[in-house]
Amino acid sequence: MTATYRQPGVVLTDRRFTVPLDHDDPAGETIELYAREVVASEKADRNLPWLVYLQGGPGFGANRFVGRPSWLGRALKEYRVLLLDQRGTGHSTPANRQTLPLRGGPAEQAAYLTHFRSDSIVRDCEAIRPAVTGGATWTVLGQSFGGFCAVNYLSRAPEGLTAALITGGLPSLDAHADDVYRAAYPRVERKVAAHYARYPQDVERARRIADHLLTHEVTLPNGYRLTAEAFQSLGILLGGGEGSHRLHHLLEHAFVRTPHGAELSDAFQEDVQGLLSYASHPLYALVHEVIYAQDERPTAWSAERVRAEFPQFDAAKALAGDGPLLFTGESIHPWMFDCDPALRPLRETADLLARRTDWRPLYDPARLAANDVPVAAAVYHDDMYVDTTHALRTARSIRGLRTWVTDEFEHDGVRAGGQRVLDRLLALVRDEA
């Protein structure tokens, strides 16, 4: 049943589709996809071109907007927008600790999850496009991992695209996960240094919290075991435009005095568990490293292995000296599957994915070199999540791609400056800038 309803300034329609789990086996098992169609109220009866939004992640459902905020308001001036819950996320057939046991044991779960990378997402898009557009091409807007999907789209099915717009999401075409993280840790260290330069009082605050966690067992209200390493992973905030300020506000109310001495405050623990829990997006943890896997080499918990090459990130060593505690960034580690109750049942499944050696290539360099789809990409000059050097190398490999390199925004530029960012990219693909 299709439901249509209204919010301020927009008309929304729920869309549901059935697609093969494995597009190479179209007669086999199927899963459901959910998407929300959005059109400006005053244009609801018009025949408009389509823009499909590919959410960042992996593992997040599409944004649940109210009205016309951020980039959406600009898009609705000329498009119908499809907010797709990529397979396994949002209202699409879910993949989490509650549902994955329906597949069987860890081996069956891991095999199932091999179908949740960008290549399957793009084939989903092509499977549903005729039903959405009547067969017409559409424009894709890919944020972060959504940009990875857009580059896969250009490799696999460019005939389905009018244009591709990419924000903070140009992947390396050939880097192994180890290469990604070797480039990432120095970048994260720079972001942490910039944070401490802005808020020097946070140096001692972070050290005090880490010292407390190294000497006390702390379990958050939701059952999450808060270790020093888990605390360091809050550095993922530093990749967003407001992230440094959010981290500062978090640290400043960490402790409260009690009859038993200083303890981590309830307010701090409540905020931290909301930031660290993967209950709402477990796929992010499960498939994050395998979005970089393209050959017989396993990912083998790449971020954890590569971290050992950067001993300055070791909390105990930092506290033994007088240097600052370094936070970490966008990386997944095996200890997360021990700390987080939403991930604990999936630890063996994650291990099997990390050991897998039969990954298929995600990108076609020859097809990208011959590309004729208009493409524009916003590249954030020191993006904490996506390496700028890797992104620009890929940009040079895609024929006709135009880049907008800017230091005005962090990784979340399409949200923070959505109308301006989308305006710029549209002007680039239309040769108006």
pLDDT 10s digits, 35-52: 999 999 999 999 999 999
**How many Å apart are CA 163 and CA 154, to the nearest integer?**
10
Nearest residue to 78 via CA among 37, 40, 35, 129: 40
Round to whole Å and give the CA distance between 13 and 19.
Answer: 19
Q: For residue 408, what are its two tokens?
A: 């005005």
Reported as a single tens digit per residue, the pLDDT across 143-168 is 999 999 999 999 999 999 999 999 99
Mean pLDDT to the nearest integer, 105-129: 98
**What is the reported pLDDT for 307?**
97
Calculate the CA 301 to chain-centre distance: 18
- Locate 227 and state its tokens: 């270790």
Please count the residues of the chain.
Answer: 433
Average pLDDT over residues 219-242: 97
Structure tokens that stand for 118 in this block? 């960008």
d(CA 331, CA 178): 11
List 404's β-bridge partners, or say none. Answer: 378
Q: In the predicted model, what is the mean pLDDT of residues 83-100?
A: 97
* Amino acid letter, residue 397: S
Q: Is the pLDDT of residue 232 over 70?
A: yes
Going by C-alpha positions, the residue among 410, 393, 390 that lies closest to residue 401 is 393
- How does residue 400 score in pLDDT terms, banded at 50, 70 and 90? very high
Evaluate whether 307 touches 313 at the Cβ level (below 8 Å). yes
Q: What percent of the chain stands above pLDDT 90?
A: 95
- pLDDT bin (cut points 50, 70, 90) of residue 323 is confident
Q: Judge whether 390 and 172 are in contact, CB under 8 Å.
A: yes
- Average pLDDT of 392-417? 94
What percent of the chain is modeled with pLDDT above 70?
A: 100
The pLDDT mean for the chain works out to 96
Give SS3 for 87.
coil
- Active site residue ranges: 144, 358, 411
Q: Tokens 């109310």: give the residue.
A: 253
pLDDT above 80 (res 2): no
Write down the pTM of the prediction: 0.96
**Residue 310, CA distances (Å) to 207, 332, 336, 382 in order:** 18, 16, 19, 19
Q: Is the pLDDT of residue 1 over 60?
A: no
Phi-psi region of 249 (alpha: psi -120 to 50; beta: other; left: phi over 0): alpha
When pLDDT is averaged across residues 120-140 and rounded to a whole number, the result is 98
Segments of the chain assigned to CATH 3.40.50.1820? 4-174+363-429
User: Looking at the domain 4-174+363-429, which fold is it?
Assistant: Rossmann fold (3.40.50)
Strand order of the sheet with strand 402-406?
Answer: 4-7, 10-20, 30-40, 80-85, 50-54, 138-143, 161-167, 375-380, 402-406
Cis amide prior to 58 (ω within 30 degrees): yes
pLDDT(70) > 90: no
